A and B are shown apart, each in its own frame.
Chain A
Amino acid sequence: MKHSTKRHPTRSVALSTLAAGALALTACGGDNGDDGAGGDDGELQQISLQLQWLPQGQFAGYFAAAEQGFFEEEGLEVEIIESGGDIVPQDALANGEVDYAIAWVPKVLETMEATGAELVNIAQVFQRSGTLQVAWADDDIEGVDDFEGQRIGSWGFGNEWEIFAAMAEYGLDSSTVDIITQDFNMNAFLEGDIDAAQAMTYNEYAQLLQAENPDTGELYTEDDFTVIEYEETGGAMLQDAIWADGERLAEDADYEETTVAFLRAVARGWAWAAENPEEAAETVLDAGSGWDFDHELWMVNETNRLIWPAPDGFAMIDEAAWGDTVAAALEAVNEQGDSPITEEPSDEAWSNEYIEAALADLEDEDLDLTGESWAPIEVSFESDGGS
Chain B
Amino acid sequence: MTAAPTTVKLKDRSGRAGALRVWVWGAAGILALMVLWEVYKFLGPADGVVVFGTRVLPRTSDLAMPHLWEMFARLAEAETGAPTADPLWYAVGAAALFSLGIAAAGWVVGVVVGVALALVMLRWKWAEWGLLPWIVLSQTVPIIAFAPVVRNWGIQLDPPFFAWQDWMSVALIASWLAFFPVAVGVLKGLQSPETMHTELMRSYAVGWWTTLLRLRTPAAVPFMLAAMRLAAANAVIGAVVAEVSTGLRGGIGRILIQWAGQASNDPAKAWGPVFGAVALGLVAAGSVALLGMTLRKYRRQEEGS
Residues of B within 8 Å of A184, CB to CB, are 257, 260-261, 263
**Interface presence of A14 (CB below 8 A):** yes
A86 and B264 form a contact (CB under 8 A): no
Contacts A/B (CB < 8 Å), 28 sampled: A27-B156, A28-B153, A31-B156, A31-B158, A54-B258, A84-B245, A85-B245, A86-B244, A86-B245, A186-B264, A191-B64, A207-B262, A208-B264, A210-B264, A210-B265, A211-B264, A211-B265, A290-B79, A290-B261, A291-B80, A291-B262, A292-B82, A293-B82, A295-B265, A386-B74, A386-B266, A387-B74, A387-B81
Listed residue (A2, A97, A288, A293) with the most chain B CB atoms within 10 angstroms of its CB: A97
A contacts with B: majority SS: loop
**Interface presence of B249 (CB below 8 A):** yes
A contacts, CB < 8 Å to B:
2-3, 6, 10, 14, 24, 27-28, 30-32, 54, 81-88, 91-92, 95-97, 183-187, 190-191, 207-208, 210-212, 214, 285, 288, 290-295, 384, 386-387
Known interface pairs A183-B260, A290-B259. Does A28 touch B247 (Cβ–Cβ under 8 Å)?
no
Interface size for B (C-beta < 8 A) is: 51
Residues of B within 8 Å of A211, CB to CB, are 264-265
* Shortest Cβ distance from A289 into B: residue: B258
Min Cβ gap B109→A in Å is: 14
- Identify which of B19-27, B143-151, B220-228 touches chain A: B143-151
- Identify which of B55-63, B97-105, B178-186, B279-287 touches chain A: B55-63
**Interface presence of B255 (CB below 8 A):** yes
Residues of B within 8 Å of A386, CB to CB, are 74, 265-269
Question: Roughly how many angstroms separate A14 CA and B62 CA in the complex, as a whole number?
Answer: 57
Which of B157, B208, B244 is close to A85, meaning CB atoms less than 8 Å apart?
A: B244
Which of A14, A87, A288 is close to B148, meaning CB atoms less than 8 Å apart?
A: A87
Residues of A within 8 Å of B244, CB to CB, are 84-86
Q: A28-B153, A387-B266 are in contact. List 11 more A-B contacts (CB 8 A).
A: A28-B156, A54-B257, A86-B144, A86-B245, A95-B152, A184-B257, A207-B261, A210-B264, A291-B80, A386-B265, A387-B269
B152 and A97 form a contact (CB under 8 A): yes
Question: Roughly how many angstroms separate A183 CA and B261 CA in the complex, as a whole number?
Answer: 8
Residues of B within 8 Å of A10, CB to CB, are 123
Listed residue (A28, A191, A295) with the most chain B CB atoms within 10 angstroms of its CB: A191
Q: How many A-B residue pairs have CB under 8 A?
A: 135
Listed residue (B82, B207, B247) with the most chain A CB atoms within 10 angstroms of its CB: B247
Known interface pairs A83-B247, A291-B262. Does A387 touch B80 (Cβ–Cβ under 8 Å)?
yes
Residues of B within 8 Å of A384, CB to CB, are 81
Known interface pairs A85-B144, A86-B245, A187-B63. Does A290 touch B258 (Cβ–Cβ under 8 Å)?
yes
**Interface presence of B132 (CB below 8 A):** no
Which residues of B132-181 are within 8 A (CB) of A? 144, 147-148, 151-153, 155-158
Residues of A within 8 Å of B152, CB to CB, are 28, 92, 95, 97
Residues of B within 8 Å of A91, CB to CB, are 148
Known interface pairs A386-B265, A387-B266. Does A214 touch B61 (Cβ–Cβ under 8 Å)?
yes
Residues of B within 8 Å of A208, CB to CB, are 264
Question: Roughly how many angstroms separate A190 CA and B123 CA in the complex, as a whole number?
Answer: 60
**Interface presence of B38 (CB below 8 A):** no
Min Cβ gap A156→B in Å is: 13
A290 and B262 form a contact (CB under 8 A): yes
4 smallest CB-CB distances across A and B, nearest first, come from A84-B247, A184-B261, A210-B265, A185-B263
B61 and A86 form a contact (CB under 8 A): no
Min Cβ gap B239→A in Å is: 13
Residues of B within 8 Å of A288, CB to CB, are 249
Residues of A within 8 Å of B258, CB to CB, are 54, 290
Known interface pairs A291-B80, A293-B80. Does A86 touch B62 (Cβ–Cβ under 8 Å)?
no
A86 and B246 form a contact (CB under 8 A): yes
Residues of A within 8 Å of B155, CB to CB, are 97
B209 and A6 form a contact (CB under 8 A): yes
